[in-house]
Amino acid sequence: MSTVLFPQHVIARKRDGFELGSEEIEAFARGATDGSWADYQLSALLMAIYLRGMTPGETVLLTGAMLRSGTVADLSSIKARKADKHSTGGVGDKVSLHVAPMVAACGVAVPMISGRGLGHTGGTLDKLESIPGFRVGISIEAYRRQVAEIGLCLIGQTGELAPADRKLYSLRDVTATVECIPLICASILSKKLASGIDCLVLDVKYGRGAFMREKARARELAVALTTVANKMGTPTRAVLTSMDEPLGHAVGNAVEVAESVACLKGAGARDLIEVTFAIGGQMLLLAGAAASAAEARAKLEASISSGAALGKFREMVRAQGGDPAVADNVSLLPRASIVREVPSPSGGYVVDVDPMGVALAALHLGAGRAKAESPVDPAVGIDRLAKVGDRVEAGAPLYRIHANSEAALGEANELMAKAIEVGPSRRAPAPLVDEIIG
């Protein structure tokens, strides 16, 4: 073995600003997978990458090395085009729950590997697990079989897929190296491309409730992600969307599942439907299931009006061990012991809903986790949340809290009171869908 492949030599080269080669990057990913690099050596290179950056070529190499650190699902026997989506995360972002069955109902297979929530962002897996009996931890073979049979499967990252990412992400989280675009690209894409997809749509959010607050920084990430994925042979587009207020009317787990079911029945919130059609439309376009944005939207609308999308959701829930009756009766979802509507202290218009304030309220209720190992209460959260631009009367409900203790209810209500502002003049909600990249 060449001395340059010893961890300390690879670390020193990146520390000094050199571009790493394929053998050095493969050694790094292998060391994260088999333990041949110590945690302090992995952490040192992560920090060097954070400080020195990576070229697009290095990022492609790192993504590929992390992708090959485990199993790459082979879905080639499935004739339908296979499309996935990924969101960089936000408050109330439950789009995956309903856009996946909508797209599947249009004839495009959707094999989706999702994550859990951490901090102020919710996780698709936590929301799905609020459905009684729903299993997100299934084998790659069961995943492949389900996609072949019903065209839809939503699972968590298994031990077989991109194990290097699991190790490196845990170290990034504790070494202040999470916000590094090359590392974000490699982390997201190594998991997504390992799932056996043909094309990918990314929802890259910016604003007060997003992982990246500045639009320019979010756009930089979107360009990097699409560039790397396309260079690796997977057609990819990114949709820049604003996250300056929570998406939809619900923030939590079971309450968000209920809102997604409402979307599948044609009763979704205006902003939630706008983002859903933007993401789902791009999935159909990339998969070749629509020739124009107008045709894509028409197909998605038809999947709702015909009941086909709700039927796909019901099939997915049944296939993954959940109670499919939730598609017809959301009261079967977990319910909190205290459900209380909170009235508006004054009449007027909603002029601001701070997404971070709402997220913190949900976190105090137990709907999210401050640490990766923290438990989540599926029943708690906030729903019937007023939106910017809504007219409200004094004493009329402004939002509803689902809590399992009076103490948590009180804490959440204090945070919510600071998060929502009612004023005398109407402020129009800002546009949500900004730009399509790639």
Active site residue 81: no
Nearest to 31 by CA among 9, 53, 6: 6
Active site residue 86: yes
Question: What tens digit of pLDDT does each residue of 249-286 get?
Answer: 999 999 999 999 999 999 999 999 999 999 999 999 99
Segment 375-399 shows an average pLDDT of 96
CB 399 within 8 A of CB 386: yes
Comparing 136-150, 167-181, 364-378, which segment has the lowest mean pLDDT? 364-378
C-alpha Rg value of the chain to the nearest Å? 22
What pLDDT score does 300 carry?
Answer: 98
What pLDDT score does 121 carry?
Answer: 66
Residue tagged active-site, from 82, 86, 237, 312? 86
pLDDT > 90? residue 403? yes
Q: Which one-letter DSSP state was computed for residue 92?
A: T
Residue tagged active-site, from 87, 96, 114, 187? 187
Domains and CATH numbers, the chain: 3-53 (1.20.970.10), 83-327 (3.40.1030.10), 335-423 (3.90.1170.30)
- CA dihedral for 269, 125, 317, 153, sign (positive or negative): positive
User: Percent of the chain having pLDDT more than 70?
Assistant: 97
Active site residue 426: no
Tell me if the pTM is above 0.85.
Answer: yes
Comparing 46-50, 207-211, 251-255, 403-407, which segment has the lowest mean pLDDT? 207-211
Pairing between β-strand 420-423 and β-strand 348-353 as defined by DSSP bridges: antiparallel
Active site residue 191: yes
Residue tagged active-site, from 13, 167, 191, 402? 191
- Mean residue pLDDT of the chain comes to 94
Segment 102-119 shows an average pLDDT of 88
What pLDDT score does 157 carry?
Answer: 77
> Residue 235 and residue 365: Cα distance in Å, rounded?
40
pLDDT > 60? residue 2? no
- CA dihedral for 184, 284, 117, 356, sign (positive or negative): positive
> Residue 313 and residue 76: Cα distance in Å, rounded?
24
Segment 415-433 shows an average pLDDT of 93
Active site residue 79: no
Residue tagged active-site, from 166, 172, 237, 312? 172
Q: What are phi and psi of 240, to 5 degrees?
A: -80, 120
pLDDT > 80? residue 23? yes
What pLDDT score does 369 carry?
Answer: 74
Question: What tens digit of pLDDT does each residue of 301-343 get?
Answer: 999 999 999 999 999 999 999 999 999 999 999 999 999 999 9
- Categorize the per-residue pLDDT at 1 as very low, low, confident or very high, splitting at 50, 70 and 90: very low
Position with higher pLDDT, 373 vs 59: 59
Question: What tens digit of pLDDT does each residue of 5-14 get?
Answer: 899 999 999 9
What pLDDT score does 438 carry?
Answer: 85
